[in-house]
A and B are shown apart, each in its own frame.
Chain A
Amino acid sequence: MAIISLREALRQAMTEEMERDPTVFLMGEEVGEYNGAYKVSKGMLQQFGPMRVVDSPISEAGFCGLGVGAAMVGMRPIIEMMTWNFAIQAFDQIINHAAKMLYMSGGQFPIPMVIRGPHGAAHMLSAQHSQCVDHMLVNVPGMIVISTVIPADAKGLMKSAIRNNNPVCFLESEMMYGKEGEVPEGEYLIPIGVGDIKRKGEHVTLVAWNKMVYLALEVAEELAQEGIEVEVLDPRTLQPLDENMIFESVRKTHRLVVLEEGWGISTIGNYIVDRTVTECFDDLDAPPARVHNHFVPMPYNETLEHEVLPNKERTIATIKKVLYR
């Protein structure tokens, strides 16, 4: 299997789908002549031309809305947001238009559309460029939310997202675009809503997604030296969430920690804990715990940023707490 980066995996998925279906097009800021702000769409303009790889004005609400309208009449737009921070400009289109259209039209107008871009903090970009909105997105009926940075998962899920008949919010990560992994060539589809066990373990279940998966695996590796076997679960799709994968793991390990980037209030982590306590109450040997950002806007300073984000130290301490060690 070829070893390629996340950005190449995403590009492969988009390119294959655009070759397969003439209604798919990519639109966003700098996707064409600049080759993508993070080079995800590098070379695609040359291959597909300016009607299918489209440089937009800096008008997130406008071009996201353009995508919704095009999707209403049979196109399959991929709308690239330079980051999900900027997509907040387009939340009216995402939440009020894309997510509602099928339902409020009584089923007449599906919105087959992917809205994709990096999510969460990168490195020293300060408050307006370093936040998570995944918990807001999953709370809106009518959309699918995928969050993944593992190259193979990203390819398989991006292809499924483009073929899906609903609005799909696809969350990536600036820091992970260069990270490599084995990726199957050609037709490779991962079903939406199915999570993946990234590491088997019997002592504690650690749920993490997006770039937190890498942190989770690092922590698991370190704790293994101490004889603590961590089971790392990556839901990959956040809406709908693969709850059964989590329940099955907790029934085995009896302990749950959720590791998520973002502020810790009304989050996906809260939801996972709530569902697990409800469904697996008698299986739990300790109260579930969570690791997340401190509740402050992201500071610029590197030391402070490291402290605000979930880090290895806090994660290890939290895992030991649920193990009473």
Chain B
Amino acid sequence: MPAPTNAQLVEFYKDMLLARRFEERCGQLYVQQKFSGFCHLYIGQEAVSTGSLNAIRKGQDYVISGYRDHVQPITLGMTPREVMAEMLGKATGCASGRGGSMHMFSSKLRYLGGHGIVGGQVPLAAGVGWKIKSMKEDLVILCFMGDAAINQGQFHEALNMAAIWDLPCIFIIENNLYGMGTAISRTCSLNVLADRAKGYNMRQAVVDGRNVLNTYAQMYEIVEETRKTSKPILVEMQTYRFRGHSMSDPQTYRSKEEVERERQQDCLQTLRDHMVAQKVATDDDFDKWEEEISEIVEDSVTFAEESPEPELNTIFDHVLAP
């Protein structure tokens, strides 16, 4: 794998910063009741999205995920405008206001959605793998899921099928240690979640998902190996969410000290330190990017707020395809 260039480092940093500020703004708008429903923020896990999705052929390889899905489409190239408009349920949103926070989609970017049923997207990924194999394409699918998804039966069924049929699926557990408010150690008998792969005779990997450069480097190898061999792999991405499971989470299940300890490994700070040490960027650069990103985020909010509501007469559109 070629080492990331300085330009790539800047790109990674800006992508993670955009993700962080975008999600912070979503949280504010939610509290201000600019939108409602569920809202699961990605804050703390940005390195997973940036590191993984920069390791694929964007727009060719497929990506599918669970409902913590605001950030991954942006890394893939969706405009923050389309995501924010979807959050606000507007006609200009990436799912025309039909999906909302949990259901971002883009056929153009081959982002096959944010899905709301824990583990339900995992067999879908096997289906995409099946298509890639059937059509003899040189592609892979990345399937993101939370740690709690590995206790669903459909997870087991899908991984077994991917293994027996050699499907080019990269199953990524974003292990942020909690399924909603229940520690994964209380619901899974394994200490290493990736060990689930042994039950399917499948390759496995554990990745430090708190460090974007590690994530990128390891995922790059995994993606290319999967493309070459068409053999699935289960990746445990070790990460942490700094905020609650959703906006209505009192976080009684973990200590402030634990969260504080995790914040010391913030992926943004880690990359920033690296870039300063490597003289890739100066404090002035970081200030400039902060401003740039702030403008992009504010522009997305303005766009979303000024966008029209979906027309009532479109309510029956897309129930059935023509």
Given A25-B134, A64-B123, A72-B127, A107 contacting B96 (CB threshold 8 A):
yes
| B321 contacts A by Cβ under 8 Å | yes
CB nearest neighbor in B for A165: B321
| A61 contacts B by Cβ under 8 Å | yes
- The answer to whether A71 touches B161 (Cβ under 8 A) is no
| A227 contacts B by Cβ under 8 Å | no
| B107 contacts A by Cβ under 8 Å | yes
CB nearest neighbor in A for B165: A54
| A106 contacts B by Cβ under 8 Å | yes
| B112 contacts A by Cβ under 8 Å | yes
Chain B neighbourhood of A75, CB < 8 A: 127, 130-131, 134
* Bound complex: CA A257 to CA B117 (Å): 40
Which B residues between 231 and 277 are near A, CB-CB below 8 angstroms?
none
Chain A neighbourhood of B95, CB < 8 A: 104-106, 108
In the assembled complex, the CB of A34 is this many whole angstroms from the nearest CB of chain B, namely 17
* Bound complex: CA A141 to CA B317 (Å): 12
| A235 contacts B by Cβ under 8 Å | no
- The answer to whether A59 touches B157 (Cβ under 8 A) is yes
Partner of A105, one of B113, B127, B322: B113
Partner of A104, one of B62, B98, B321: B98
Given A66-B127, A110-B321, A92 contacting B161 (CB threshold 8 A):
no
| B94 contacts A by Cβ under 8 Å | yes
Chain A neighbourhood of B7, CB < 8 A: none
- The answer to whether A109 touches B107 (Cβ under 8 A) is yes
| A74 contacts B by Cβ under 8 Å | yes
* Per-residue interface assignment for chain A, residues 47 to 72, with 1 indicating a CB less than 8 Å from any chain B CB and 0 otherwise: 00001000011010111111111111
* Per-residue interface assignment for chain A, residues 270 to 284, with 1 indicating a CB less than 8 Å from any chain B CB and 0 otherwise: 000000000000000
Chain B neighbourhood of A199, CB < 8 A: none
In the assembled complex, the CB of B37 is this many whole angstroms from the nearest CB of chain A, namely 12
In the assembled complex, the CB of B240 is this many whole angstroms from the nearest CB of chain A, namely 29
* Bound complex: CA A103 to CA B97 (Å): 10
Partner of A70, one of B98, B130, B317: B130
Which A residues between 61 and 112 are near B, CB-CB below 8 angstroms?
61-75, 77, 92-93, 96-97, 101-110, 112
| B199 contacts A by Cβ under 8 Å | no
Which A residues between 131 and 154 are near B, CB-CB below 8 angstroms?
141-142, 144
Chain A neighbourhood of B113, CB < 8 A: 101, 104-105, 109
* Bound complex: CA A36 to CA B164 (Å): 20
Main DSSP-derived SS at the B contact region: mixed
CB nearest neighbor in A for B97: A106
Given A96-B120, A109-B112, A62 contacting B154 (CB threshold 8 A):
yes
Partner of A106, one of B105, B122, B127: B105
* Per-residue interface assignment for chain B, residues 97 to 116, with 1 indicating a CB less than 8 Å from any chain A CB and 0 otherwise: 11100010111000011011
- The answer to whether B126 touches A69 (Cβ under 8 A) is yes
| A315 contacts B by Cβ under 8 Å | no
Chain A neighbourhood of B106, CB < 8 A: 108
Chain A neighbourhood of B96, CB < 8 A: 106-107
- The answer to whether B154 touches A92 (Cβ under 8 A) is yes
In the assembled complex, the CB of A173 is this many whole angstroms from the nearest CB of chain B, namely 26
- The answer to whether A107 touches B161 (Cβ under 8 A) is no
| A166 contacts B by Cβ under 8 Å | yes
* Bound complex: CA A69 to CA B153 (Å): 17
* Bound complex: CA A72 to CA B141 (Å): 13
In the assembled complex, the CB of B3 is this many whole angstroms from the nearest CB of chain A, namely 33
CB nearest neighbor in B for A77: B127
* Bound complex: CA A61 to CA B127 (Å): 12
- The answer to whether B103 touches A105 (Cβ under 8 A) is yes
Partner of B164, one of A57, A65, A108: A57
- The answer to whether B127 touches A70 (Cβ under 8 A) is yes
* Bound complex: CA A103 to CA B99 (Å): 8
Chain B neighbourhood of A165, CB < 8 A: 321-322
Chain B neighbourhood of A144, CB < 8 A: 320
- The answer to whether A62 touches B107 (Cβ under 8 A) is no
Chain B neighbourhood of A141, CB < 8 A: 319
- The answer to whether A105 touches B105 (Cβ under 8 A) is yes
- The answer to whether A61 touches B161 (Cβ under 8 A) is no
In the assembled complex, the CB of B62 is this many whole angstroms from the nearest CB of chain A, namely 7
| B219 contacts A by Cβ under 8 Å | no
- The answer to whether A65 touches B127 (Cβ under 8 A) is yes
CB nearest neighbor in A for B86: A106
Chain B neighbourhood of A106, CB < 8 A: 93-99, 105, 318
CB nearest neighbor in A for B103: A104
* Per-residue interface assignment for chain A, residues 166 to 202, with 1 indicating a CB less than 8 Å from any chain B CB and 0 otherwise: 1000000000000000000000000000000000000
Chain B neighbourhood of A104, CB < 8 A: 95, 98-99, 103, 105, 113
Chain B neighbourhood of A142, CB < 8 A: 319-320
Given A25-B134, A105-B103, A69 contacting B319 (CB threshold 8 A):
no
Q: List 30 contacting pairs A-B, 8 Å CB cutoff, sorted by A.
A: A51-B133, A56-B161, A61-B153, A62-B123, A62-B126, A63-B123, A65-B124, A65-B126, A66-B123, A69-B64, A75-B134, A92-B120, A97-B120, A101-B113, A102-B320, A102-B321, A103-B98, A103-B318, A104-B95, A104-B105, A104-B113, A105-B103, A106-B93, A106-B318, A107-B317, A107-B321, A144-B320, A165-B322, A166-B320, A166-B321
Going nearest first, the 3 A-B pairs with the smallest beta carbon separation are: A69-B127, A65-B123, A62-B157
Known: A73-B127, A108-B107. 13 other contacts (CB 8 A): A57-B161, A62-B156, A63-B161, A65-B120, A69-B125, A96-B117, A102-B318, A104-B113, A105-B113, A106-B105, A108-B106, A109-B112, A166-B321
A residues apposed to B, CB below 8 Å: 25, 51, 56-57, 59, 61-75, 77, 92-93, 96-97, 101-110, 112, 141-142, 144, 165-166
